[in-house]
Amino acid sequence: MGICMAAAATALSLSSCGNKKAHENPFLKPYETIYEIPPFEDILIEDYIPAFDAGIAEAKASIDSIVNNPEAPTFANTILPLDNLSPTLERVMGVLMSLTEAHSSAELTEVSENLLPRYTAFNDELMMNQGLFNRVKALYDSRDSLGLAHDETRALEETYRQFARNGALLTPEKQEQLKAVNSRLTDLYLKFNKNLLASNNAFEIVVENEADLAGIPASTVANAAEEAKSRGKEGKWVFTLHAPSRLPVLQYADNRDLREQMWKGYTSNAQTGDNDNRPVIADIVKTRAEKAAIMGYPDFASYMTADVMAKTPQAAEELLMSIWKPAKAKVAMEVAEMQALSDKLGNDFKIAPWDYYYFAEKVRQDKYALDENEIRPYFAVDSVTKGIFSMAEKLYGITFEPIADAPKYHPDVKVYDVKDSEGKHLAVFMTDYFTRASKRQGAWMEELKTSWINPDGTADRPIVYNVGNFSKPTADAPSLLTIDEVQTMFHEFGHGLHGMLSRARLKSQSGTSVDRDFVEFPSQFHEHWAFQPELLKEYAHHYQTGELIPDSLVQKINAASKHNMGFMTAELVGAALLDLNWGHLNPEGDIDVMAFENSVAEKLGMPEQLTFRYRSPYFKHIFGDEGYASGYYTYLWAEVLDADGFEMFAEKGVFDPECAARMKTVLESGSSEDPMVLYENFRGHRPEAAALLRQRGLTD
């Protein structure tokens, strides 16, 4: 966390000279910055723990005031205060969790290892507070006679479910067992993430012979040269496991040995030495099974799916298997095409996993005359940013204005004032798109502050951010995105819109606070606009000439949109099924992590040319925390919704005002309404799974 440490050094220097007043902990009062953006430059590493302590004390005082209230429980004196126990704790945990993922350091990791177990313990104490639960239960039992508004009833029911799912109905003995299990899991998640980040950063492939770089895009080669220079290896090229480095090697490198080295390095990530995540996973799986048993469920997958749209792991598996079979058949067709092309080129080898990306690209060029290196100059990061903003304005009437001198946690971050159709402030939106060692892999959306409506009718608006891991600009060119990276930007921006547009009254129902198998619907839905000709005219301009992307290229992009979809679907479905299989496991003895993973692949009949999208030791979605544990299937569950929903836009027009207004209602509602009700009101019928197969080209 270089900014904070630098700020600390500056503060100490000024303090010693007597030129500045003593440092004030920024977390301990509302931020005095524009729109209450955290004042990152003023936050010192030593501010976190005292602020956390103060926040916990503040929260406990709020809990005591609810429990000891002599008045009978009401929604106003019990549920509403639970929505806002401690602004101090929200401030410090919001920044800590954000920077731990996006801009970490050894010092911040140490703080996280101190505070996250304590935060887990506090949440356990909250959820098992019998006096508090008694008030919630009294309201829940009489909810039909309270005359509550619909969103209030949903909030009450969800609060009761959360207490029940977190142990409030357990005996005191079982509660103590659950606390111990949760504490152990928190420690294991921290260890998994720490190992993964260290393993990612430790791996490198050093290339000394320029001839070995044949086929790799010039921008990737330039970044590899800069990476080598930063590691004291000037004159060489260094490739890493970060996607902007890894994927171009697999997709374009003519050197087969280099592709194999990269593929094996990635698929064996976090499996050696001090960073080996296999024993961590074994402990996580055992501990999760113990948690499920304490909670009265047959396995962890059943526990995790019980209160979302799927309801059971079997429902999720049924959907996944209906996709797996046609995807697997499509893979066989794709491999046959690649093998035929490889043979035609005079190669004498059988297509292996490290050849898949490479020959899929060769087939795409052969079938569609589509060369991604020809496309990328039209998709500089700033251009695509213009595209997502233009989409939002056309669909929802919102605009984005840069905020000069806004606080930011890293120089790469850009900050925008989001305004509604009347020019009123709607949200703060921040972007952080480039890869660095202090950032975990992947792309995501998160909030530093959510939104809600105050009792006096005034609104607190959110602070939303998107994070990516795209190639850094070089001295000669901006960051140029691949087709997949363009879709990633639209995907995460879809999550961002869910947060920015929220009009839910209650903080707990705001934005993306929805069922896990509904949360990916808005993100995947907005991917559809990335390559719509009407929108491309707004943003896809060549970074050097300013030329609009030619219609011929747009036609090629859309013609090839279903290319390689068997591979992409099978590795995704495979990972989702692997996740659920881990959730079903109730181990009695030792666990051989890779043997179990291989047994799942064998059971599925996984094609030998591919593997799971994420192998277990680096499957952060399911082992880095519980956010997507036994829930990775939600991407495909939500794709049923987005595929079916977009067919309405495809029929009526991609910027049809009536369709857009319906979707805006979904985004504004958060979880103030049941997700299936929201979907049916939007689409006019329940989602149809066949749309997903049509969208992915897996059926006629």
For the segment 373-402, the average pLDDT, to the nearest whole number, is 97
* Distance, CA of 176 to CA of 491 (rounded, Å): 41
CB count in 10 Å sphere of residue 279:
14
Helices (H), 352-482: 356-368, 372-375, 381-396
Cα distance between residue 691 and residue 559, in whole Å: 18
Q: Render pLDDT for 297-325 as a digit per residue (tens, 0 to 9).
A: 999 999 999 988 889 999 999 999 999 99
Q: Distance between CA atoms of 462 and 500, rounded to whole angstroms? A: 6
Domain ranges of the chain: 2-169, 203-269, 274-370+565-632, 376-559
- Selected residue with higher pLDDT from 441 and 654: 654
Residue 437, helix vs strand vs coil: coil
516-526 and 634-652 helices cross at what angle (nearest 10)? 40
Q: Is 434 helix (H, G, I), strand (E, B) or coil?
A: strand
Sign of CA dihedral 371, 377, 382, 383: negative
**Class (C level, CATH) for 376-559:** mainly alpha
Question: What SS3 string covers 189-201?
Answer: HHHHHHHHHHHHH
The average pLDDT across 208-225 equals: 95
Token pair for residue 552?
Answer: 């011929």
247-284: pLDDT as tens digits: 999 999 999 999 999 999 999 999 999 999 999 999 99
Query: Given this model, what pLDDT does residue 14 score?
Result: 33
Cα Rg of the chain, angstroms: 26
What does the block give as tokens for 402?
């840069």
Structure-derived torsion over alpha carbons of residues 284, 286, 292, 294, reported in degrees to the nearest 10: -120
Q: Rounded distance, CA 446 to CA 458, Å?
A: 23
Enumerate the β-bridge partners of residue 414: 431
Measure the CA angle with vertex 87, ends 86 and 91; round to 5°. 120
Q: What is the mean pLDDT of residues 462-469?
A: 98
688 confidence band (pLDDT: 50, 70, 90): confident
Token pair in block for residue 157: 């029911």
- Is pLDDT of 5 > 50? no
| 593 confidence band (pLDDT: 50, 70, 90) | very high
The residue whose two tokens read 């007043």 is 21
Per-residue HEC secondary structure of 245-306 comes to HHHHHHHHCCCHHHHHHHHHHHHCCCCCHHHCCHHHHHHHHHHHHHHHHHCCCCCHHHHHHC
CA 492 – CA 57 distance, rounded (Å): 35
Indicate which residue of 152, 317, 334, 492 is catalytic: 492
Which residues have CB under 8 Å from 295's CB, separation 6+?
165, 167, 170, 178, 303
Model pTM? Answer: 0.88
459-467: average pLDDT:
97
Dump pLDDT digits (tens) for 115-161. 999 999 999 999 999 999 999 999 999 999 999 999 999 999 999 99
Share of the chain above pLDDT 90, in %: 92
Work out whether strand 399-402 and strand 459-460 pair parallel, antiparallel, or are unpaired.
Answer: unpaired
The two three-digit tokens of residue 264, written as one number: 């094996």
Sign, Cα dihedral of 21, 100, 290, 83: positive
Q: Are 388 and 396 in contact (CB under 8 A)?
A: no
pLDDT, residue 699, reads 84
User: For domain 274-370+565-632, which architecture applies?
Assistant: Orthogonal Bundle (1.10)
Active site residue 492: yes
Give tens-digit pLDDT for 405-415.
Answer: 999 999 999 99
Domain 2-169 falls in which CATH fold?
Neurolysin; domain 3 (1.10.1370)
| Closest to 567 (Cα-Cα) out of 364, 316, 369, 314 | 364
Taking alpha carbons only, the member of 262, 361, 356, 357 closest to residue 609 is 356
Q: Which amino acid is located at 124 in the chain?
A: D
Same topology between domain 2-169 and domain 274-370+565-632: yes
| Distance from C-alpha of 460 to C-alpha of 649, rounded to nearest angstrom | 32
What is the C-alpha to C-alpha distance for residues 419 and 399, in angstroms, rounded to an integer? 5
CA distances in angstroms from 508 to 79, 83, 585, listed in the order given: 10, 6, 32
Q: What is the mean pLDDT of the chain?
A: 94
Residue type, 436: R
User: How far, in Å, CA of 100 to CA of 96, rounded?
Assistant: 6
pLDDT digits (tens, 9 = 90+) for 538-584: 999 999 999 999 999 999 999 999 999 999 999 999 999 999 999 99
C-alpha distance from residue 420 to each of 357, 392, 518 (Å): 42, 10, 25
Phi, psi of 479 (to 5 degrees): -70, 120
Confidence at residue 20, expressed as pLDDT on a 0 to 100 scale = 54
* Cα separation, 342 vs 362, whole angstroms: 9
pLDDT higher than 70, residue 7: no
Helix, strand or coil, per DSSP, at residue 544: coil
pLDDT reported for residue 8: 34
